Amino acid sequence: MISMLYNRYKSWIWLLLALLFATGAYSKGSRGLEGEMLLNAGLGAACLLVWGFLLIRKPKIREGTDALIQSSSPLPAWRLVALFTLAGAFAATAMIPYQLQTGLLETAVKTSPLPPAALAGITVLQTAIFCFVASFIGVKLAPKAGLGAPLLAAWLNREQPPKLSGRWIAAAAIGSAIGTLLIFALESFIFQPRMEPAGVSPSASIWSAALIVFYGGIVEEVLLRLFLMTLIVWLLSIPLRRRRRPIPPFLYWGAIVLAAVLFGLGHLPATNVMFGSLNALLVIRALVLNGLLGIWFGYLYWKKGLEYAIIAHLLADVFLHVVPQLFI
């Protein structure tokens, strides 16, 4: 009986255990019990890895009725959700050295009763949860919106994936490089001459700067493209789908721009902290500098899939955060 229940619900059991250990880590950390907090966080991470493995691995196809159940199973979509959840947790973990070197984690500790390790663990957990929810919704809605991640979906489902286009990868790299140069030019010649100095930014080593590219390339693409852009297209295309009409290009462009603008607006609190106040120029700066490349990533997501948007975003962050370190 117990074995049958476990085999049927084991994915949910391991996910529940991961959440329980994460809750325990938060509870122990809030009371300053750093050792017990780390133990709970480690056990939670192990449970999360097991959960991801159970969803990603290929299920056994059995004869008879079980084969019919397997053929209609939503496991391929769940494997994609698990992959993005684990990748998001990895990206958040990879950011920790950068946060330590730049003092961001120390600043956060001053406004929180939790120790640094607890805050770092909570950040990783929050990112994993955000990626789980965002990818779950995005993967569910993407086919109806004419979007998705076809390469990863085919790979996880053990199918023949579409051919990776070297031409589009080159275009992704060139577009990201041009966008990065444009951002540097706008900041240097348009915005900075009209702004008060924001002070010296904290420095970090080149290797820690290289690690943060995973957060932008993975987490931000899951949240902004797979979730937000997909949701916008899905909502705006409801009347068209009811009439069985194709989604027009202008609707995709609207979703691309809107997602980029919302991302820029999300940087206004950080801009306010950096400069001490907000004005029209700073708002425009936040929208332009943070949304410009987002339009390019959204276009790649629409035309080729999320994989190409991730590649372009990774390369753009390399150009923005790593390459300048070579000349300092």
Count CB-CB contacts under 10 A for residue 75: 18
For residue 62, give the amino acid letter. Answer: R
pLDDT digits (tens, 9 = 90+) for 89-127: 999 999 999 888 888 777 776 777 777 877 888 888 889
- Alpha carbons 212 and 203: distance in angstroms, whole number: 14
Q: What is the DSSP string of 156-170?
A: HTTS-PPPP-HHHHH
Question: Are the C-beta atoms of 74 and 54 separated by less than 8 Å?
Answer: no
- Residue 119 CA to residue 116 CA, distance in Å, equals 5
Between 61-70, 197-206, 319-328, the lowest mean confidence (pLDDT) is in 61-70
Measure the CA–CA gap between 137 and 302, rounded to whole angstroms: 17
Judging by beta carbons within 10 Å of its beta carbon (0-12, 13-18, 19+), is residue 182 exposed, middle or buried?
middle
Residue 240 and residue 122: Cα distance in Å, rounded?
42
Integer Cα distance of 184 and 178 in angstroms: 10
- Give yes or no for residue 7 having a pLDDT over 70: yes
pLDDT at 179: 96
SS3 category, 13: helix
pLDDT at 248 over 80: yes
Tens-place pLDDT, residues 49-80? 777 777 666 554 433 333 332 333 455 588 89
More confident residue, 19 or 277: 277
pTM of the model: 0.79
Q: How far apart are CA 25 and CA 172, in angstroms?
A: 40
Cβ–Cβ contacts within 10 Å for residue 90, how many? Answer: 17
pLDDT at 66: 37
